[in-house]
Amino acid sequence: MPRPKKQHLKRRPDGRYACRYKDQWFYGYTEEEALAAREEYKKAESAGQIQPSAITVAQYAAKWLPVARAAVSPATYRGLATHLDHFAQVIGDTPISEVSPFQIRTVYSTKYLGLSQSYILAAKQIIVDLFDSAVENGLCRTNPARSKDAQPHTGTTGGHRAITDQERYWITHYCTDHRCHAAVMAMLYAGLRPQEVKALKVDRDGDFKDNRIILREFVHIDAENPQRYVYTTRGKTDNATRTIPLFAPLRKVLEGRTGYVITSAHGKQVTIQTWKVAWNSYVTAMETAINGCHQRWYGKTREHKALLDAGKELPPWIPFTVTPYDLRHSFCTWCRDHGVEMNTCIKWMGHADAKMILKIYDTVSEDRFLAQAAKLDPAFAPKDEKVAK
């Protein structure tokens, strides 16, 4: 008797496998996992344990996400699937019609403690959308995720910031021979995103005659191999392809260079891992230059030992805490501090409108604060003329 033919499933862009039974989809990170989920459902159906009106949160989420978010990138889809997986792990077996606000709040307190506010809000949004869809399809009477009792806790704020003048001096003058230096200068003096600077090619994108940079290529995480990047002409936004002035500090660094501004140690295109290694190496090199020694030798050098022997305190260790997005943030702050109009700033930053700039990037620096305050000084100055009684 011939063996039954094994069913082979196609791997989805998000890395999972899917199979279908009736109107239900079943997913797994291996073929066996997806097929086993389907067989378990069939057995439960045969035993009368599954009723059409008792579809669970996990079952509806698996059915809803591929349709509702079909147009998003593979990386975005994986992120959304992760949020739904968190909810499925806690309340996945609960019929979607019976989920309470307290249960949703329990998921936040179980899976999202200590995480950033933006990450928690992303989870909240996908869950609200999920239950909105369930309401529209008659599976729920109301959306429990919108209840006051279902609201998540406040996460960490973190975020990025404008760098200080001291940090700007360090970046411009220290570690100029490090392979990250050109990329750092491009993010600082052109406002490039990390995924933009990784695809920046000097001899292709740099126009030294007209003093401009033309962004043509970007990197995205490869759906087939999440440890690698895919180089495409599709940026993060519709305005990502843009032209930016080539300012003097960056021009000085890029002149005479060819190829990508950042590569692996072997001169190849960067991967996720080689970028992490390169950036960590740059941070270490900067801290060594700033403090005069590697951190492992702090307190152990001849000069430090002499200070300790003399009963004196060691100079405090100064960490280099700048992040790639701090550099882009700083560029936008400088633009606004020096009067670059909003529409021009939007174009240079590659945003669709002013919302993101005003909400995140347009930090009011101390210099701008003082300059704006000075504008009102004449209005509040004492007048020589007599005030009419």
Q: Where are the domains of the chain?
A: 51-150, 165-365
Q: pLDDT tens, position by position, for the chain (389 residues)?
A: 455 566 778 887 667 788 877 656 677 888 888 888 888 888 887 877 655 557 899 999 998 999 888 887 777 888 899 999 999 999 999 999 899 999 999 999 999 887 878 788 889 999 999 999 998 888 888 999 999 999 998 876 656 788 999 999 999 999 999 999 999 999 999 999 999 999 999 999 999 999 999 999 999 887 677 778 889 888 877 788 999 999 999 999 999 999 999 998 888 899 989 999 999 999 999 999 999 999 999 999 999 999 999 999 999 999 999 999 999 999 988 888 888 888 898 899 888 777 777 776 666 667 777 777 777 777 776 665 555 55
Is beta strand 17-21 parallel, antiparallel or unpaired with respect to 24-28? antiparallel
Query: Distance of CA 150 to CAs 4, 102, 106, 127, Å?
Result: 48, 6, 8, 11
- Domain covering 51-150 assigned CATH 3.40.50.720 in the classification: no
**pLDDT value at residue 158:** 58
Name residue, tokens 């292709």. 204
DSSP 331: H
pLDDT score at 1: 47
Of 332, 326, 324, 327, residue with least CA distance to 350: 332
Kindly state the tokens that stand for 198: 């990784």
E-strand spans in 223-338?
229-232, 243-245
Among 210, 206, 184, 207, smallest CA distance to 197 is for 184
User: How long a stretch of residues is the chain?
Assistant: 389
Tell me the one-letter amino acid at 40: E
Angle at CA of residue 359, ends 355 and 363, nearest 5°: 125
In this structure, what DSSP letter does residue 93 have?
Answer: T
Q: What is the pLDDT of residue 74?
A: 75
Report which of 191, 216, 199 is spatially closest to residue 325, judged by C-alpha positions: 191
CB atoms near residue 300 (< 10 Å): 11
| Residue 39, both tokens | 């067989």
- Closest by CA to 211, choosing from 174, 162, 248, is 248
Instruction: Tell me phi and psi for residue 253, to 5 degrees.
Output: -75, -40
DSSP 8-state class, residue 147: S
**Are the C-beta atoms of 290 and 174 separated by less than 8 Å?**
yes
User: Residue 3 has what pLDDT?
Assistant: 55
Q: Which amino acid is at 196?
A: E
User: Whole-prediction pTM value?
Assistant: 0.64
Report pLDDT for 22: 66
Q: Are strands 218-221 and 24-28 parallel, antiparallel or unpaired?
A: unpaired
| CATH code assigned to 165-365 | 1.10.443.10
Half-sphere exposure of residue 48: CA atoms within 13 angstroms, side-chain side: 0
Q: What residues have CB less than 8 Å from 107, skipping those under 6 apart?
A: 86, 87, 90, 91
